Amino acid sequence: MLKLINVSVRETLKNLSLEVQKGEFVLIVGANGTGKTTLFNAISGAVGLKNGKVVLNGKDLTNSPPYKRAKLISRVLQEPSLGTIADMTILENMGLAYMRKKYKKISRKVVDYFKEKLNMLGMGLENRLTEYVKNLSGGQKQLLSLAMATIDDYELLLLDEITAALDPQTSETVMNIAQKIISQEKKTCLLITHNVKHMDTFGNRVLEMKNGKLVERQSVSV
């Protein structure tokens, strides 16, 4: 379970409280500048809290630095190129993500695990391990970022407008695969989105950021 207790960040988040059950998929919506990305930064430790607590599965992370939280919290950003290294291969990118979590060498068994993870994406990337990431499309890069973010041991997945830079068809592909991974691995996930169709189709509930706090959205129509 993720619990935010009276979290305040500068003038953006104001005594915000939130409970997300383990395995729940929650969508976060709201106008630009209302604090959605600041919320993710507060959870991941990228910004300090003015007051409040961040608790994940019983662990108080409030004073934990970002590198320690990274073992428990994975994040995929809006821009596909930000989650990958263009001048490295798919295998090298996967390896970096794995070592960040595990601090272990990359064995043949681990490479087979990478292939299984990439196979879930349905893009054939498991057969292109030596391909440089700069040769991939935006959608493929974003899916690779998703595979890298969900390598082992994470407890919370933060998806920050992961389809905003993609065309509608690719956007749906990425969202369907994200839903598949979240469902199969039974992980807790928060997704920031402006896509009305996503609000209707994905997640267990929709919360809207208003005046520095989150409120339950009763209707996804606009």
pLDDT tens-digit series, residues 24-66: 999 999 999 999 999 999 999 999 999 999 999 999 999 999 9
Whether residue 120 contacts residue 174, with contact meaning beta carbons closer than 8 Å, is answered with no
184 found inside a domain:
yes
222 found inside a domain:
no
Mean pLDDT of the chain: 92
Domain that holds residue 47: 2-216
Model pLDDT, residue 145: 95
221 — pLDDT class (breaks 50, 70, 90): very low
Determine if the pTM surpasses 0.85: yes
221 found inside a domain:
no
Model pLDDT, residue 220: 45
Model pLDDT, residue 25: 95
pLDDT tens-digit series, residues 131-162: 999 999 999 999 999 999 998 778 999 999 99
Counting other chains too, the contacts that 33-37 makes at CB distance below 8 Å and 24 or more residues apart are: 34/209, 34/210, 34/212, 35/9, 35/209, 35/212, 36/160, 36/192, 36/209, 37/160, 37/192
**Higher-confidence position of 125 and 102:** 125
Segment 92-111 shows an average pLDDT of 84
147 found inside a domain:
yes
pLDDT tens-digit series, residues 183-218: 988 889 999 999 888 888 898 999 999 999 999 986
Burial 13-22 (b: 16+ CB within 10 A, else e): beebebebee
146 found inside a domain:
yes
222 HSE (CA, 13 A, CB side): 12
The helix/strand/coil state of 202 is: coil
Whether residue 23 contacts residue 187, with contact meaning beta carbons closer than 8 Å, is answered with yes
The helix/strand/coil state of 207 is: strand
Segment 4-30 shows an average pLDDT of 96
Looking up residue 159, the CATH number of its domain turns out to be: 3.40.50.300
Q: Structural domain tally of the chain?
A: 1
pLDDT tens-digit series, residues 67-91: 999 989 999 999 988 889 999 999 9
